[in-house]
Structure 1
Amino acid sequence: MTTAQYREGTDTVARPKILVVGAGFAGVECVRRLERSLAPGEADVALVAPFSYQLYLPLLPQVASGVLTPQSVAVSLRRSSRHRTRIIPGGAIGVDHEAKVCVVRKITGETVNEPYDYLVLTPGSITRTFDIPGLVEHARGMKTLAEAAYIRDHVIAQLDLADASQDEAERASRLQFVVVGGGYAGTETAACLQRLTTNAARRYPRLDPKLIKWHLIDIAPRLMPELGDKLGRSALEILRGRGIEVSLGVSVAKAAPEEVTFTDGRVVPSRTLIWTAGVAASPLMATLGTETVKGRLVVTPEMTVPGIDGVFALGDAAAVPDLAAGDGAVCPPTAQHATRQGRKVAANIVASLRREPLRPYEHRDLGLVVDLGGRDAVSKPLGIELRGMPAQAVARGYHWQALRTNVARTRVFTNWMLNAVAGDDFVRTGFQSQKRATLRDFEYTDSYLSPEQVREHVRGETALRG
């Protein structure tokens, strides 16, 4: 079928249906490119997304610390698209690739079948956990906007409660905070929140700032090894210079409501355990019943799923071969790769529609930026090592230009300026105070179907329609 035939249109020929699952960096970029590249009437595009925004994940620590408002990092899908895409408010919970149907649970709880000709899987990742006693029950994550808002409220609540308490043991446990994970998310979270509590302590005359203590631990021997030895040591020196106790080669042995036990035997009285120790691919990928690598769906360099017609997978949930690195490496789960993969998949879908050859994905990483709050940062753009204000300028400049809309850029820039001039009010909203804060509650990891359940559901719905 040619593009011209679709443009002319007939009542007897249905347009191909392109279904994109996930509104992260990869999914949104894919949709934007499809809207630009497809001729009117050439195909129908739909996007499955539980929220009406794309979350700019790298700035979540600044939301948790109050530097940015939640709305600043929630980039509207309605503003960033050209209104040619149908947005389905819900989440994909299974795929029947034989029937070419994606099972979607809407935000109302209703489960529907969405047929497709081309399926683009970009469901992203969830927080990776381990079989550690008490971890799932007592740890908080930093993967969603709700989690960042909750953590901010929770941390300020600990200061409020410690200030009001007459019990020294309670006060000590409320004023110690543990962050697990020495990658970008954990390091930035610990740095930004430590700055928040340090500044807030001046507003609590009954609190001794020396009692507020932040712990950053990681089982790895180095902090953010991707930065290299020099910048990694610089980041470590900055954190320790600000009073954060960084422990490497250490993890959590056990978590309880009022204390955390480390694997080196230390027992830290703490009511705040923030878990950022890596990510795992969305459980959706397991519903296809095809090969995975550490949970990530195995794909070709063109990001097609071997042996399955019309299915592409990319981003955090796919093991995309890293042709630039070679030696069987796969692309790391970063926004930089996800965005560019989204563009390439859109181009490959258009090529497939027009009977043109698909092209492989290849991109060399452009560098790394780490914002440690205030004037502290380390960055490595194009291999150039930067520290302090120059690194901060690069980090914030990169994030600012990466935001999708001018409205989002304006909000973020205004928040940065306001925080730099006026500081924080240390207000807790209480919106999440009555909600359980486990990783499962915020990330909905128990929502997915097994491959057998997907097939049963699809065939059951088909029989009812028949």
Structure 2
Amino acid sequence: MVLGGGYVGLYTSLGLLRKLRAGEATVTVIDPRSYMTYQPFLPEASAGSLSPRHVVVPLRRVLKGAEIINAHVTKVDHARKVVTVEPLEGPSYEVPYDEVVVALGSKARTLPIPGLAEQGIGFKTVEEAIWLRNHVLRCLDLAASTQDAERRSRALTFTFVGGGYAGVEAIAELEDMARYALRYYPQLHPDELRFVLVEATGRILPEVGEDMGRYTLDELRQRGLDVLLETRLESCVDGHVVLSDGQRFDSDTVVWTAGVKASPVLANTDLPLDDKGRLVCDADLRVHGLADAWGAGDNAAVPDITNPGSFCSPSAQHAVRQATHLADNIVKSLRGKEIEPYRHKHVGSVASLGLHKGVAQVYGVKLRGWPAWFMHRTYHVSRVPTLNRKIRVIVDWTLALFFKREIVSLGEMAAPREEFHQAAGGGQ
């Protein structure tokens, strides 16, 4: 039983299906979505560099031979070896298992900030990426057609909270797209665009090292982005943003990327958790103290044996390798063979800052600009699942070399029935 169809869930299931002999075991995957999202490509999907369909992988197509249950996991009773699921429709029910892999991933870590739940949006799903792209372009449409100066300013102010990977890549890609789009809006001036990045600590992109973090900060500021360090979002009620440094302004866009936390479903299990709500795992990816429960990815605290005293970071780099190792260990365990600890030394990090712009620190080598951007694309296309998706991603990038970006807002996708509703008399 594999709980979660993300990167770890998909690749663990795929590894099991390939390594298990016919009739040796069955594989069941439970996830509310019928596809896996390759999250490192979400910024490019939101900026229009990639088709959204090419950053997702259909589970039923890839995991041939596995049972796929589209449902939310609500409880795990390992003492009874049953999982309670809530299907997309209908009452909850229990599903029994012999071995369980907990790969539920992470959720956005939010704070009780007034207005955030109503005004904010995250950046962890392809749905959010598509919505943000349409929203940013719709804001340009609105600003170009209104004569209200305050409304225009509000539409052209985009606020991002969180200076980690997700926040920096999202704001950089969307700002790059918005400035490109302005060539089709003669009514708007580039100086009217305001992109604000709010970070509570004193640095951004800590994953790439202090030097590269400072370079990224300088790069974003030179592009005109307003990067506010040691600053917190205190309120955004009705789009009125209030920051801890005293700044107040109106913004139609509030994107929350200030960290993640392990899936809250873990709190409704009898499995051991640490003080951060993560699954406590041993280095061999078994849940501590249990022989028939396993964990990996963002929801698991896996000891990093290459750096004693620390845990593996919640990154795609570890998820890729943990999933493959986990499948190997489960098969070995089923066959009575000795399992091995997971070992991988972090090799560095890469980040995209928009088209042809990036930053990287790999094996101690620091890169910036086009070389870093190229390395970012090369690494992630090698990691996106299936040859089918790799080819589609490369084709998208190749076409982008010869044709201009598609700049069109499909904002009505958020309410596709509205026009028919009004035509049928619902608007009277």
Q: Same fold (TM over 0.5)?
A: yes
Instruction: Within 5 Å, give how 1:247-266 maps onto structure 2.
Output: 247-266=228-247
User: Which of 26, 38, 42 lines up with 2:8 in the alignment?
Assistant: 26
**Distance in 1 of aligned mates of 2:347 and 2:30:** 30
Deviation at 1:151, TM superposition (A): 0.9
2:20 is the alignment partner of 1:41: no
**Aligned 8 A contact 1:352 1:358 in 2:** yes
**Distance in 2 of aligned mates of 1:380 and 1:127:** 26
Q: Which residue of 1 aligns with 2:302?
A: 320
State the identity %.
Answer: 39
**Distance in 1 of aligned mates of 2:406 and 2:382:** 28
Q: Which residue of 1 aligns with 2:341?
A: 360
User: Which of 287, 293, 301 lines up with 2:283 in the alignment?
Assistant: 301
Q: Which residue of 2 aligns with 1:131?
A: 112
2:292 is the alignment partner of 1:310: yes
**Distance in 1 of aligned mates of 2:239 and 2:384:** 39
**Aligned 8 A contact 2:349 2:360 in 1:** yes
2:162 is the alignment partner of 1:181: yes
Counterpart of 1:131 in structure 2: which amino acid?
Answer: P
2:393 is the alignment partner of 1:412: yes
**Distance in 2 of aligned mates of 1:414 and 1:111:** 42
Q: Which residue of 2 aligns with 1:440?
A: none
Deviation at 1:79, TM superposition (A): 4.0
**Aligned 8 A contact 2:198 2:232 in 1:** yes
Deviation at 1:238, TM superposition (A): 1.6
Deviates more, 1:104-113 or 1:316-325: 104-113
Deviation at 1:171, TM superposition (A): 0.6
**Aligned 8 A contact 1:80 1:404 in 2:** no
Q: Which residue of 1 aligns with 2:404?
A: 423
**Aligned 8 A contact 1:97 1:308 in 2:** no
Deviations 1:226-267 (A, max 9, x none): 211221122112211211111111120111223211111101
**Distance in 2 of aligned mates of 1:115 and 1:237:** 54
Q: Which residue of 2 aligns with 1:61?
A: 43
Q: 1:109 to 1:324 in 2, by over 3 A?
A: farther
Counterpart of 2:172 in structure 1: which amino acid?
Answer: A
**Distance in 1 of aligned mates of 2:90 and 2:37:** 22
User: Which of 259, 262, 269 lines up with 1:288 in the alignment?
Assistant: 269
**Distance in 1 of aligned mates of 2:334 and 2:379:** 35
Deviates more, 1:170-179 or 1:297-306: 297-306
Cα RMSD (Å) of the superposition?
Answer: 1.6
**Aligned 8 A contact 2:138 2:411 in 1:** no
Q: Which residue of 1 aligns with 2:207?
A: 226
Q: Which residue of 2 aligns with 1:375?
A: 356
Q: Paired residues, what number? A: 415
Deviations 1:275-315 (A, max 9, x none): 00110111111111433331211122222223445111111
Q: 1:383 to 1:80 in 2, by over 3 A?
A: farther
2:68 is the alignment partner of 1:87: yes
2:55 is the alignment partner of 1:73: yes
Deviation at 1:50, TM superposition (A): 2.0
Counterpart of 2:168 in structure 1: which amino acid?
Answer: T
Q: 1:391 to 1:348 in 2, by over 3 A?
A: same
Q: Which residue of 1 aligns with 2:425?
A: none
Q: Which residue of 1 aligns with 2:248?
A: 267
**Aligned 8 A contact 2:119 2:239 in 1:** no
SS in 2 for 1:285: helix
**Aligned 8 A contact 1:238 1:376 in 2:** no
**Distance in 2 of aligned mates of 1:216 and 1:137:** 19
Deviation at 1:357, TM superposition (A): 2.5
Deviation at 1:206, TM superposition (A): 1.5
**Distance in 1 of aligned mates of 2:320 and 2:280:** 19
Q: TM-score, normalised by structure 1?
A: 0.86
Q: Which residue of 2 aligns with 1:395?
A: 376
**Distance in 1 of aligned mates of 2:277 and 2:79:** 21
Gaps of 5+ in 1: 1-18, 436-466
Deviations 1:426-451 (A, max 9, x none): 2122354239xxxxxxxxxxxxxxxx
**Distance in 1 of aligned mates of 2:178 and 2:325:** 43
Deviation at 1:72, TM superposition (A): 1.0
Q: Which residue of 2 aligns with 1:211?
A: 192
**Aligned 8 A contact 1:46 1:85 in 2:** yes
Deviation at 1:109, TM superposition (A): 4.1
SS in 1 for 2:110: coil
Q: TM-score, normalised by structure 2?
A: 0.93
Gaps of 5+ in 2: 417-428
**Aligned 8 A contact 2:27 2:67 in 1:** yes
Counterpart of 2:159 in structure 1: which amino acid?
Answer: V
**Distance in 1 of aligned mates of 2:336 and 2:179:** 60
Deviates more, 1:121-130 or 1:295-304: 295-304
**Distance in 2 of aligned mates of 1:236 and 1:326:** 31
Q: Which residue of 1 aligns with 2:420?
A: none
**Distance in 1 of aligned mates of 2:88 and 2:227:** 41
Deviation at 1:425, TM superposition (A): 2.6
2:121 is the alignment partner of 1:140: yes
Deviates more, 1:424-433 or 1:400-409: 424-433
**Distance in 2 of aligned mates of 1:126 and 1:133:** 20
**Aligned 8 A contact 1:293 1:319 in 2:** no
